[in-house]
Amino acid sequence: MPVVGTPSVLTSSVPQSTLRAAIQSQQEAARSHATAIAQIEARQTQKVRELEDRLRQVIATSDAEKERYMTEQTKLESLVSHMDDLRQRTESGQQEQLKALEKLAQQRVAEETDMRKAD
């Protein structure tokens, strides 16, 4: 059956050594609880730091990959531009050669025609 009464009545009926032991036990339990909470918080803080570090590494890797991609894209664009220039020059040169060949063919036809007329 629970003891009912004023606190002073309750404490006066319990020996001081028992009260001190109970208080000491409560204090140790509170310290133990505080220590456990501090350890949990420390582990959580460490996990957060590790996650932040990994995130920074991923971002750095992503930035490096982006930079490499941009460099390759610039190189490809330059190569495409160079290829376009070469194609245009080649086409222009081929057109000039074709015109020269046509002119030469016309001259030969004219020469042969003149030679036939002379015969």
Give residue 12's pLDDT: 64
Flag whether 57 is in a domain: yes
Structure confidence at residue 38 as a pLDDT band (50, 70, 90)? very high
Mean per-residue pLDDT for 23-29?
95
Q: By the 8 A CB rule, do 10 and 3 touch?
A: yes
CA dist., res. 96 & res. 78, Å (int): 27
Flag whether 43 is in a domain: yes
Flag whether 30 is in a domain: yes
2 to 5, 10, 17, 23, 60: CA distances (angstroms) = 10, 11, 21, 20, 66
Flag whether 117 is in a domain: no
Mean pLDDT of the residues in the chain: 90
Mean per-residue pLDDT for 49-64?
96
Flag whether 2 is in a domain: no
Flag whether 59 is in a domain: yes
Give residue 10's pLDDT: 53
Q: Where are the alpha helices (DSSP H) in the chain?
A: 7-13, 16-118
pLDDT at 78 over 80: yes
User: How many domains are there within the chain?
Assistant: 1
Residue-number span of the structural domain to which 49 is assigned: 16-88
